[in-house]
């Protein structure tokens, strides 16, 4: 009855009234219900380790989670940067944690490091895209979805004592809107105490001047505000990793042993390992998960949906439903398609016309050539006919001359042997007359 009564009061008035309850209702168990539900469901946490080969990524992960994850040392001969993800099921008390550790293999090993950040950005985006696709499905199963989105990116800075490398700045700048970056100084046992302080402030000022947004420990919640505020001062955490147990006093502790002494991983005077563990796992793990979902994934989702043409409101700031967006997009696509089709058709007609004109021109050329050839052929023929006629005339004249000469020769032979001189003369006269006739 009380539940119904409360419900009525709420729905009747817009501004809610505070009411005291006269007895126990039971909704104060809601947080417990949430805890129980989350505990049975288990948690996902994904860490991305970005850092040069051999900087101590695997050792730090082993030290952080107090276990030995499988990892092979990378060679320095990788042609490019590659990301390797490995998932593990961890259990502490009755809380199950599905932990994924993503390692950058070959980072910082190439001569040209211009594109080193790309595979990392791509990996992060791919995980966001997979989540978005699941969200957009009609049958979603986000409840038991294995979330692979990166919740924290540990950026390993080389303990140079100088400043950040340009590769570090470029990579962090490219990642800062996509992931919660926690910068850490690796192998901090190699830097002297007085240098470390300067190195830390140099790094922080460089990050600020280059506009790199690192993860801010939340200070809005009372319970964690103080610890987070004090811890922020120590950023970037200078860490030392080791899984080796060394006897210190009468206790065993994780440490690195050197000829001159021992560096204790969990000793806050030696390094910031404990601070990192506190911030990353004990205090802010849930905030890191939340920030990933509400800030980074939200940004990715918004950009992606806008890219796809979805809008929340039309140009007059009126709400725009998904259906309307879909229809508007569809119409836009169809008109675009029609425009393209028309363009192609016109292009085709133009090309046909061009080809036709080209063919006509070629035909005209051919015709002219043919006419020219015909004319030269006729001229040649006429010349040859004239020559033939001349030759025939010459041949006729020659045959006549030949016949006359033969006649003269035969008469001359006869006259020499039988006839008198008179006869000869007469005969000669006649012959001459005949020759003259023949020649005429
Ligand atoms: P890859 O996976 O091959 O890229 O290397 P990694 O970054 O995982 O480095 P790994 O943890 O394999 O460590 C490389 C070497 O550095 C090992 O010899 C470690 O013992 C040493 N090392 C790891 N952490 C520290 C540290 O905090 N200080 C010092 N001085 N050495 C360390
Ligand atoms: Mg490794």
pLDDT of res. 347: 95
pLDDT of res. 2: 45
pTM: 0.73
Mutate to test the pocket of ligand 1, among 56, 184, 241 (most ligand atoms within 8 A of CB): 56
Strand partners for 181: 153
What SS3 state is found at 393? Answer: helix
Ligand 1 atom with minimal separation from the 240 CA: 27
Give the residue whose CA is nearest to atom 10 of ligand 1: 56
Tokens of 59: 């050792």
Residue bearing tokens 């040392």: 73
E-only strand ranges, 68-151: 82-92, 95-105
- In contact, 310 and 325? CB cutoff 8 Å: yes
Ligand 1 atom with minimal separation from the 53 CA: 4
Cα-to-centroid distance, 324 and ligand 2 (Å): 50
Ligand 1 atom with minimal separation from the 51 CA: 7
127 contact partners, CB below 8 Å, separation of at least 6: 46, 148, 149, 150
Q: Delimit the domains of the chain by residue range.
A: 40-308, 322-395
Cα-to-centroid distance, 56 and ligand 1 (Å): 3
| DSSP, residue by residue, 267-317 | -TTT-SHHHHHIIIIIISHHHHHHHIIIIIIHHHHHHHHHHTT--SB-TTS
Cα-to-centroid distance, 236 and ligand 1 (Å): 18
Ligand 1 atom with minimal separation from the 49 CA: 7
Cα-to-centroid distance, 7 and ligand 1 (Å): 60
CA atoms within 13 A on the CB side of 214: 22
Any long-range contacts for 358-365 (C-beta under 8 Å, 24+ apart)? none
Cα-to-centroid distance, 240 and ligand 1 (Å): 9
Q: What is the pLDDT along the chain (440 residues), one digit of tens a residue?
A: 444 444 444 444 567 888 888 888 888 899 999 898 888 888 999 999 999 999 999 999 999 988 888 878 888 888 888 899 999 998 888 888 899 999 999 898 888 888 889 999 999 999 999 999 998 888 888 888 888 999 999 999 999 988 888 899 999 999 999 999 999 999 999 998 889 999 999 999 999 999 999 999 988 888 888 888 888 888 899 999 998 888 888 888 889 999 988 899 888 888 899 999 989 998 899 999 999 999 999 999 999 888 887 777 766 666 667 777 778 788 888 999 999 999 999 999 999 999 999 999 999 999 999 999 999 999 999 999 999 999 999 999 999 999 999 999 988 888 776 666 676 677 777 777 877 776 66
Cα-to-centroid distance, 242 and ligand 1 (Å): 9
Please list every protein residue whose CB sits less than 6 Å from any atom of ligand 1.
51, 53-59, 71, 73-74, 187, 189-190, 240-241, 256
| DSSP, residue by residue, 165-192 | -HHHHHHHHHHTTTS-EEEEETTGGGS-
pLDDT of res. 317: 66
Residue bearing tokens 């801010």: 216
Give the residue whose CA is nearest to atom 14 of ligand 1: 54
Q: Give how far the C-alpha of residue 220 lies from the chain's centroid of Cα atoms, to the nearest Å.
A: 39
Give the residue whose CA is nearest to atom 23 of ligand 1: 56
CA distance 102 to 151: 11
pLDDT of res. 401: 93
Cα of first residue to Cα of last residue in the chain, in angstroms, is 159
Please tell us whether the domain made up of 40-308 is placed in CATH 3.20.19.10.
no
């Amino acid at each position: 009855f009380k539940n119904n009564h409360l419900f009525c009061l709420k729905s009747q008035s817009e501004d809610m009234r505070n009411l005291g309850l006269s007895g126990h209702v039971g909704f104060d168990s809601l947080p417990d219900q949430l805890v129980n539900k989350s505990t049975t469901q288990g948690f996902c946490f994904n860490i991305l380790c970005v850092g040069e080969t051999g900087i101590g990524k695997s050792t730090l992960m082993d030290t952080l989670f107090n276990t030995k994850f499988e990892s092979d040392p990378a060679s320095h001969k990788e042609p490019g940067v590659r990301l390797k993800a490995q998932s593990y099921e961890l259990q502490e008390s009755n809380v199950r944690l599905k932990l994924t550790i993503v390692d950058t293999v070959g980072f910082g090993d190439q001569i040209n490091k211009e594109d080193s950040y790309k595979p990392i950005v791509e990996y992060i985006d791919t995980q966001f895209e997979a989540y978005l696709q699941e969200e957009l499905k009609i049958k979603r199963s986000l409840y038991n979805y294995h979330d692979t989105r990166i919740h924290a990116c540990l950026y390993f800075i080389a303990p140079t004592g100088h400043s950040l490398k340009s590769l570090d700045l470029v990579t962090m700048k490219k990642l800062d809107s996509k992931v919660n970056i926690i910068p850490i100084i690796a192998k901090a046992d190699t830097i002297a105490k007085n240098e470390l302080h300067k190195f830390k402030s140099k790094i922080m000022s460089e990050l600020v001047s280059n506009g790199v947004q690192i993860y801010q420990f939340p200070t809005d919640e009372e319970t964690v505000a103080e610890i987070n505020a004090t811890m922020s001062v120590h950023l970037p955490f200078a860490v030392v990793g080791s899984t080796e147990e060394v006897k210190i006093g009468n206790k065993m502790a994780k440490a690195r042993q050197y000829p001159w002494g021992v560096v204790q991983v969990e000793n806050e005077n030696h390094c910031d390992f404990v601070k990192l563990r506190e911030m990353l796992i004990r205090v802010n793990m849930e905030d890191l998960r939340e920030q990933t979902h509400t800030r980074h994934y939200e940004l990715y989702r918004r950009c992606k949906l806008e890219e796809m043409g979805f809008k929340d409101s039309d140009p007059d700031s009126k709400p725009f439903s998904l259906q309307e967006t879909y229809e508007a997009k569809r119409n836009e696509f169809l008109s675009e398609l029609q425009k393209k089709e028309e363009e192609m058709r016109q292009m085709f007609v133009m090309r046909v016309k061009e080809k036709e004109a080209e063919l006509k021109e070629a035909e005209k050329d051919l015709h002219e050539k043919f006419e020219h050839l015909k004319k030269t052929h006729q001229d040649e023929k006429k010349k040859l006919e004239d020559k033939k006629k001349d030759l025939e005339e010459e041949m006729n004249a020659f045959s006549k001359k030949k016949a006359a000469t033969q006649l003269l020769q035969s008469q001359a032979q006869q006259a020499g042997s039988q006839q008198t001189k008179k006869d000869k003369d007469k005969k000669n006269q006649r012959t001459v007359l005949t020759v003259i006739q023949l020649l005429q």
